[in-house]
Amino acid sequence: MRNNYWSCSIFANWIRGTAKPYSASSKGWRQWRVNAQTAHQFRYWVAEELLDEIQNFLYLPYDLFNNFRWYVRNRWIDQTYALVAHKDHLKRGQWYDVDGRFIPCLFDTLVDFVEQECAHMATWSNDKYKLPWWARINIFLFKGWRSKEAGLENLDWQMSLVYGENDGIKSTNKLFGKPTHQAIAAKEIKALYTWYTDVYWNRPDPSDISGWSAYCDSKRSKSGDVDNLLDSLGEDETKEEKIKFSKILKALNKIEADYEKEETEMMIRLIKIRKSLWT
């Protein structure tokens, strides 16, 4: 894939005799092709077919290098063949049980989608997010540009899309003026992204808010040894202390269960919108 195609250039419009739309619905593209071919069939072939073949021949050395560059990036940097957590969430070289990998691997991939792919789409129509010079050169670039602000702004734009005449929907249709499928998906993507970045990593530790940490600290000061502490928790206590211990443990288990339920719900929601995670 190239940054520009000669068949989409101003020169191609001049050869073809009909300007190619910047964007259009499926119906709009079909209609444009019919009109352009009907007006100048040979000139259409030159602009749409011949120019691409000439560009492919002249760009062959660049294409070979670009394919190598993208292989390196996909294989060792972006690792697009796998779901990989950010290194500040799962430390490299450390062991993590499978259960502990699901949330970071799934949702860090979602973060990359928003802050890289959606952010890149924002640069197409908003000069505020013009790519830095090193990203525009795009020759030896192995590290992708990312922006949280641009990604979220692109999602906000997608969320504003409604069905209209450009989609072939007439004003009498019940879908007219309603959010498109893309808008609904973007709203869900933003909700999941926000939960993961603003809520998930900022949730208080269940041991702290249940009182379990304070209880263990009070026992540790008496036992001194951690192994002895674990063996003696809840034992050799008065009736009142045992009731307190039971309440703390019950609170801890409930908070952990609530967290687990929330995480499961969010993972299911993410899986349900997986077909919308593409650009």
Report whether pLDDT(216) > 90: no
Model pLDDT, residue 211? 94
Phi, psi angle pair for 153, to nearest 5°: -65, -35
Amino acid identity of residue 275, one-letter, is K
R_g over Cα of the chain? 28
Instruction: Examine the pLDDT at 26 and tell me if it is beyond 70.
Output: yes
Least confident of 72-76, 97-101, 164-168, 267-271: 164-168
Sign of CA dihedral 256, 262, 266, 271: positive
Helix crossing, 239-272 with 181-194: angle to 10°? 150
Condensed to tens digits (0 to 9), the pLDDT of residues 239-260 reads 888 888 889 999 999 999 999 9
DSSP annotation of 140 reads S
Residue 215 has pLDDT above 90, yes or no: no
Alpha carbons within 13 angstroms on the beta-carbon side of residue 47 total 22
Neighbours of 74 (CB within 10 A): 12
Task: Give the model's pLDDT for residue 42.
Answer: 96
pLDDT at residue 124, as a whole number: 79
Query: Residue 125 has what pLDDT?
Result: 74
Instruction: Render pLDDT for 93-128 as a digit per residue (tens, 0 to 9).
Output: 999 999 999 999 999 999 999 999 999 899 877 778
What percent of the chain has pLDDT above 90? 63
More confident residue, 216 or 202: 202
Spatial CB neighbours of 28, under 8 Å, sequence gap ≥ 6: 21, 166
- Count, residues in the chain: 279
Q: Give the residue with greater pLDDT, 104 vs 170.
A: 104
pLDDT at 64 over 90: yes
pLDDT for the residue numbered 82: 94
Instruction: Count the neighbouring beta carbons within 10 Å of the beta carbon of residue 144.
Output: 15
Rounded CA-CA distance 265/270 in Å is 9
Given pLDDT bands bounded at 50, 70 and 90, which one contains residue 25?
A: confident
| Better-predicted residue by pLDDT, 26 or 223 | 26
Average pLDDT of the residues of the chain:
89
* % of the chain beyond a pLDDT of 70: 90
* Weakest mean pLDDT among 130-139, 161-170, 243-252, 256-265: 130-139
User: Can you tell me the mean pLDDT for 147-161?
Assistant: 96
Helix (H) or strand (E) holding 98: helix 98-112
Q: Report how far residue 108's alpha carbon sits from residue 169's, in angstroms, rounded to the nearest whole number.
A: 37
Specify whether the CB–CB gap between 203 and 259 falls below 8 A.
yes
Section 28-42 average pLDDT? 94
Prediction pTM value: 0.81
pLDDT at 230 over 80: no
pLDDT in tens, 141-152: 556 788 999 999
Q: Can you tell me the mean pLDDT for 197-213? A: 96
